[in-house]
Amino acid sequence: MRKGILMNTEIIAVGSELLLGQIVNTNAQFISCSLSDLGINVYYHTVVGDNRNRFMEALKIASKRADLIITTGGLGPTMDDLTKETIVDFLGLKLTLHEPSAQAIREYFKKRGRTLTENNLKQAMFPEEAIVLPNKHGTAPGAIIEKDDKIYIMLPGPPYELQPMFINYVMPYLAERENQRIFSAVLRIYGIGESAVEEAIKDLLLNQTVTTIAPLASYGEVTLRLTVKCRRDQDPLEFIKPVEDEIRRRLGTAVYGIDDQSLEMVVAKLLEEKGMTLAIAESCTGGLIGNMLTDVPGISKNFLEGAVTYSNEAKIKRLGVRPETLERYGAVSRETAREMAMGIVDTTGADIGLAVTGIAGPGGGTAQKPVGLVYIAIAMNGNAEVEEFRFIGGRKRIKNSTAKQALDMLRRKLLMTFYA
């Protein structure tokens, strides 16, 4: 493979356990993400079982449509580990013992006090043409073979073995052959639907140039992936930043984060920057909001307490909700949500009280109060604001939608305090 030639890639994951759904193919995701930084296109993901004939057929197909073929799995010592042997047969090569790998395997077993069986040395057999990739975390080395203007890269299946091997050996090898990179930034949007987002940036979608825009919707949240391919000596943000800034200008505070930022991470950061404390009273979400926030490191400085007040009795005893409020308006009502938020502030001394109450289903709904009806309240500075929402889906989806909506409502409230 000549340097500077753009490579199109196929990733072939070998393992019947993948086809049976026993494990998820996270290796393909990791490799695809890593290759994008080198500007290498991944056009196909293939999964094939531990069957020599089917794997051979997959290799024939891949060699016709890809320049770079990367395999994962099937490099172990057992009889069903056929990846290396099949590729070697496919390429018309021969296996010989790679003594450095054999010695590394012997030392691996010796350090662990385990008996080395002869079949383990099968993992040290490679063609003389191969570039052998050491495995610092297991016994199966990987390999790179260049033949007929194609590159074949064999990697072990366990992610804790594959990932360091790929980063330490495969990435530098491929980087020498590519002078381009692909860079992406993901804008995260909440509070407006996919169609509204598309309408707001329709002209940008129709007139994409260097920076491409790919929308994706999931559970009420919309993401926009901004992608650019450029030379490695260029700064991709020079191309992405103007497009990002224009999208942010049009969508305003609906854009809550970028890349891996979650709503809870953004809320935690705003609380810290503002120096404010929070307490939460949850009913229908059962502690989900508190769980999401406590996934953020350092949140203990600002998150004082979360109370799961599921029953009416708990709302009365823990939060001071008045019995007459529950009797007159019900547990799922604006009035109860307001008193819950005010009550959690009164009993904890927090600057902000967040409360949710609703009907997650599948039962419990009525014509007046259907499944999915939720009230979210925020208490602050002696006042409480309440909003009504109607979510759809099963119980788990309604709970998740409620938790996200509550965090987004809190996020927007915090942003308003910055500009007040």
The CATH number covering residue 235 comes to: 3.30.70.2860
135 is a domain residue? yes
Looking at the structure, do residues 111 and 184 belong to the same domain, yes or no? no
Q: Which among 231, 189, 173, 185 has a CA at the least distance from the CA of 211?
A: 185
Looking at the structure, do residues 23 and 171 belong to the same domain, yes or no? yes
317 is a domain residue? yes
* Domain coverage including residue 307: 263-419
In whole angstroms, how far apart are CA 389 and each of 329, 374, 414? 17, 5, 20
Give the domain CATH number at 304. Answer: 3.90.950.20
Looking at the structure, do residues 202 and 316 belong to the same domain, yes or no? no
193 is a domain residue? yes
13 is a domain residue? yes
Pairing mode, strands 96-97 and 125-126? antiparallel
Contact status, residue 125 vs residue 95, Cβ threshold 8 Å: yes
Single residue among 120, 145, 175 that ends a domain in this structure: 175
3 is a domain residue? no
Contact status, residue 59 vs residue 12, Cβ threshold 8 Å: yes
Give the domain CATH number at 17. Answer: 3.40.980.10
Single residue among 175, 207, 240 that ends a domain in this structure: 175
How much is the pLDDT for 238? 95
How much is the pLDDT for 420? 53
2 is a domain residue? no
Looking at the structure, do residues 310 and 357 belong to the same domain, yes or no? yes
Looking at the structure, do residues 14 and 132 belong to the same domain, yes or no? yes
122 is a domain residue? yes
Looking at the structure, do residues 63 and 157 belong to the same domain, yes or no? yes
Looking at the structure, do residues 21 and 126 belong to the same domain, yes or no? yes
Looking at the structure, do residues 31 and 95 belong to the same domain, yes or no? yes
Single residue among 175, 196, 227 that ends a domain in this structure: 175
pLDDT tens by residue, 377-405:
999 999 999 999 999 999 999 999 999 99
How much is the pLDDT for 401? 95
Looking at the structure, do residues 413 and 298 belong to the same domain, yes or no? yes
Looking at the structure, do residues 323 and 226 belong to the same domain, yes or no? no
How much is the pLDDT for 179? 78
Looking at the structure, do residues 186 and 323 belong to the same domain, yes or no? no
**Residue carrying the six token digits 């860079």:** 183
CB burial readout 320-331, b (16+ within 10 A) else e:
ebeeebbeeebb
Q: Give me the residues of the chain with pLDDT under 50, please.
A: 1-5
How much is the pLDDT for 4? 46
d(CA 115, CA 118): 10
Other CB atoms closer than 10 Å to residue 94's CB: what's the count? 11
How much is the pLDDT for 417? 79
Q: Which among 9, 10, 32 has a CA at the least distance from the CA of 162?
A: 32
pTM for the whole thing? 0.75
Amino acid at 186: V
Total domains in the chain come to 3
- R_g of the chain, CA atoms, integer Å: 28
395 is a domain residue? yes
Looking at the structure, do residues 208 and 273 belong to the same domain, yes or no? no
